[in-house]
Amino acid sequence: MKPFKGREFTPDEDVQDVYGPPPEDAEPVLETEVMQCVYGPPSMMNGGTEPVLRGDTSADAEVTEEFGLLLGCCRSIRERTDFKPKVALVLGSGLGDFAETSVDIECAIDYHDIKGLPFSTVQGHRGRFVFGYIGDVPVVVMQGRVHYYEGNTSAAAVRGVRLMSMLGAEVLFLTNAAGGIDPSFHAGDFMLIEDHISSFIPNPLIGRNIDQIGTRFPDMSCVYDMQLRSIIGSTAQELGIGLRHGVYVQLSGPSFETPAEIRMLRGLGGNAVGMSSVIEAIAARHAGMRVCGISCISNLASGMTDQPLSHAEVQESADKAAPKFRELVSRSIVKIGGTL
């Protein structure tokens, strides 16, 4: 990488921290020179392998520590593959083997091999990026997600999603297992996410804004893209899969909710509850990605049956629904790819 003022910029450092503020009489430098210092050599800036940034990439944009980390992660992937995905998919419980069954795999990279990326500690979450094709659609799949309750900050938990955007993915497809709050839901149902409630979890955008990725105050009035929702709806219909619609609420976990909490969430308009996805959707919209998501209702939420909740039950029920879930997700992605 090109040294900046004789010194190599590392992803852990902020340019301002290292060099201090620019002197008042500083000569303006070409934007491309700054880009090269910060983002790497020209080889990473063209030929389709440069980080895709949809925000402000001018020389004035601040280089935050989080952005430095992201650039480091991106470079680490680009040393191994120049694959350019269009759709990013996050696999929730029950879809753990989706990559093996439904993706023509070109390459896979363990989270452990990407410096600066937190990894997944949950049973059933494998912990790697898979690059490949679903039909003709180039995809990147997070096989195993990273949760807030594993001890990551919200910002760290969404690093993988931001990275997939920087690798070129335009659409984020979220999947998860969730507890049904809506009394008309049954275990094994699928719910198309129409909106979310994020009020119980720290927002992943807290901290200095990453201007290169997106704006300080991103709009959240339509997080879940109408066209993508309509594609998923028509795909479900073709497959004869009944689809519920509703609002997903993310709580921190890892404990399941109490019956009183579920009554509260129902009063707030929630239809399903889980421990993921919302912060990922926020980070993706911030980055300018289009977002869609499906919850597999693995159980009825706390207090709605006599049974206590367990992760094993969630996993078992999600595994049972997996064949239909796989079909719905892969067919939808083929159709979504056709519109990009």
Interface ranges with ligand HPA (CB under 6 A): 177-179, 256-257, 273-275, 298-299, 301, 309, 314
Is residue 210 within 8 Å of residue 67, measured between CB atoms? yes
- Vertex 282 angle, CA 51 and 14, to 5°: 45
Please indicate whether residue 311 is annotated as part of the active site: yes
DSSP of 152-207: --HHHHTHHHHHHHHTT--EEEEEEEEEE-STT--TT-EEEEEEEE-TTS--TT-S
Write down the catalytic residue from 108, 111, 125, 322.
125
| Residue 26 burial (C-beta neighbours within 10 Å; 0-12, 13-18, 19+) | exposed
Is residue 226 within 8 Å of residue 318, measured between CB atoms? no
Q: How far apart are CA 275 and CA 177, in angstroms?
A: 9
Q: Closest CB to ligand HPA among 68 and 274? A: 274
In angstroms, give the least distance from the CB of 317 to ligand HPA. 9
Please indicate whether residue 226 is annotated as part of the active site: no
Q: Closest CB to ligand HPA among 4 and 149? A: 149
Write down the catalytic residue from 165, 209, 271, 276.
276
Report residue 272: phi and psi, to 5°: -150, 150
Beta strands at 137-143 and 128-134: parallel, antiparallel or unpaired: antiparallel
Q: Closest CB to ligand HPA among 140 and 178? A: 178
Q: Whose structure tokens read 């699928």?
A: 190
Q: How far apart are CA 171 and CA 159, in angstroms?
A: 16
Q: Closest CB to ligand HPA among 163 and 275? A: 275
Nearest C-alpha neighbor of 335 from the set 162, 128, 166, 135: 135
Q: Closest CB to ligand HPA among 199 and 230? A: 199
Please indicate whether residue 150 is annotated as part of the active site: yes
In angstroms, give the least distance from the CB of 289 to ligand HPA. 24
Please indicate whether residue 112 is annotated as part of the active site: no
In angstroms, give the least distance from the CB of 177 to ligand HPA. 4
In angstroms, give the least distance from the CB of 258 to ligand HPA. 11
Half-sphere exposure of 90 (CA within 13 A, CB side): 33
Nearest C-alpha neighbor of 75 from the set 114, 126, 36: 114
Q: Closest CB to ligand HPA among 191 and 273? A: 273
In angstroms, give the least distance from the CB of 10 to ligand HPA. 38
In angstroms, give the least distance from the CB of 120 to ligand HPA. 15
Write down the catalytic residue from 299, 302, 317, 332.
299
Please indicate whether residue 66 is annotated as part of the active site: no
Please indicate whether residue 148 is annotated as part of the active site: no
Q: Closest CB to ligand HPA among 176 and 235? A: 176
Structure token pair of residue 308? 């206590």
Nearest C-alpha neighbor of 278 from the set 198, 199, 164: 198
Write down the catalytic residue from 65, 149, 194, 203.
149
Structure token pair of residue 252? 């921190």
Report residue 15: phi and psi, to 5°: -55, -45
Comparing every residue's Cβ against ligand HPA, the nearest one is 179
Write down the catalytic residue from 177, 236, 289, 304.
177
Is residue 163 within 8 Å of residue 67, measured between CB atoms? no
Please indicate whether residue 186 is annotated as part of the active site: no
Write down the catalytic residue from 1, 152, 311, 327.
311
In angstroms, give the least distance from the CB of 301 to ligand HPA. 5
The residues annotated with a catalytic role in the active site are: 93, 125, 147, 149-150, 177, 275-276, 299, 311
